[in-house]
Amino acid sequence: MDKTEERMLSLKWEDGNLLILDQTKLPMETEYILLETAEDVWEAIFKLKVRGAPAIGIAAAYGLYISVRDLKAQSFEEFYEELRNNADYLASSRPTAVNLFWALKRMEKRALSSREKTIGEIKEDLLKEAHNIRQEDEQMCKAIGENLLTLLKDGMTVLTHCNAGGLATAKYGTALAPIFLAKDKGWNIKVFADETRPLLQGARLTAWELMQYGIDVTLICDNMAAHVMSKGWIDAVITGCDRVAANGDAANKIGTYGLAVLAKAHGIPFYIAAPSSTIDIDTSDGEGIVIEERHEDEICCGFGRRTAPEGVKVYNPAFDVTPCHLITAIVTEKGILTPPYSYAIKKYC
């Protein structure tokens, strides 16, 4: 058993219940909470109790099953209408991560493919599909890590942003997957983690997760990235993503675009780790990606204390879009995609 088995999972299905690790309480508290209704799942996604594009999709899949588990429908049409309504409701929790919509559509398709079965059997099929989505994500993330590992060497130092580890997925993570796999190989790869303002996912989650695994991690403020790059301390930048457009533009946590610009200026490769479920071939480029804007209190009253004057105008986008020309490679479970991305995405995804 590899050491990843010892790590805390972002979510799990136990005894017919969905449990998530409440990431708003990390790193000071590690608490799993029970989600019993679609409303519970919606709130957990919206309030970032569960976060990271793959984990959001998995939670939504289980949430959709939970929403119809006790439904007393007399016909498939009645059942499917309620399923669709609940899927639309869950989809409204966050607009940017394409995995959310991908997982819900996949669950709907599973229901349609089972329409000749009894309602009870359809419910069983939906639960199986949610399990499949979770298990496939774990396999995809490990494959992404193995592909990214071919771009790294023992002794390198990587800079990352936000949290794209096991906490954001079913298990291994995306951007952090090669770091965990390198540790298992006995490599010594060091990590600089941006704190990731305003919600400090890098400080609260990535630093905690890497330390739990015994990986050498140094936490820095977001505005220190250029400085550490100028010192020659960074060999590669690896981030996750919430959506990749058909041309290779990639949306990720706010601040990622700036890192890509800095990496380009310093001649450092910039890699995006992306499960194929994150690639949105129906969105032609980054201009078509909806960017979530969040409440001003995340900036003005971080963690309960006001740090800005009352009444100040606030702009709080949760994500930005990195143009494809700044991305050295997009690494999926299917392989390493390089420019021109429009061609590579059509060919492999």
Q: Which residues are catalytic?
A: 242
Asked if 210 and 217 count as a contact pair (C-beta separation under 8 A), the reply is yes
What are residue 320's phi and psi, to 5 degrees? -135, 170
**Cα–Cα separations (whole angstroms), residue 135 to 13, 128, 174:** 12, 10, 15
Element (H, E) at 127: helix 119-149
- Given the DSSP bridges, would you call strands 157-160 and 190-194 parallel, antiparallel or unpaired? parallel
Cα–Cα distance between 158 and 151 in angstroms, integer? Answer: 11
Angle made by CA atoms 162, 167, 173, in degrees to the nearest 5: 80
Which DSSP letter does residue 8 get? P
Distant-in-sequence, close-in-space partners of 309: CB < 8 Å, separation ≥ 6: none
Strand-pair partners of 329: 271
What are residue 115's phi and psi, to 5 degrees? -60, -25
Neighbour count for residue 301 (Cβ, 10 Å)? 14
